Amino acid sequence: MQFDLFDDSVVIPSIRNQILQGRSQAGGNVYFDAPEIDLSVYDRVVICLSGGKDSIACILHLMELGVDMARCELWMKT
C-alpha cells in the first residue's frame, strides 16, 4: 500500500476521531469548534497569510480580541 493512501485511509481518520472524541460534530461548514486560546502567554503570534479571506478574517479576529499587533508576525510565502 502506498504511504499516502495509508495516511488518507488510516492515519488521518484516527487522528480525527481522537480530536473529536467526546464532542458532537459541528454542523454546516464548521469543522472544529475550539475554545479561544489565551494568546497573552506567548511572546509572538505568527499568522500565515495567503491574502485570502480566511487569513484576513484571522487578523481581524485577533484585532477584535485585543491582541497587540506589535507582537504579531505576518508570514507569507512568496
Condensed to tens digits (0 to 9), the pLDDT of residues 26-58 reads 555 555 566 777 888 889 999 988 888 888 888
Average pLDDT rounded to a whole number, residues 61-68: 90
Q: What confidence category does residue 75 fall into, taking pLDDT thresholds of 50, 70 and 90?
A: very high
β partners of residue 48: 75
- The 3-class secondary structure across the chain, one letter per residue, is CCHHHHHHHHHHHHHHHHHHCCCCCCCCCCCCCCCCCCHHHCCCEEEEECCCHHHHHHHHHHHHCCCCHHHEEEEECC
- The domain limits of the chain are 1-34, 37-78
Residue 22 has a pLDDT of 61
Mean confidence (pLDDT) of the chain:
79
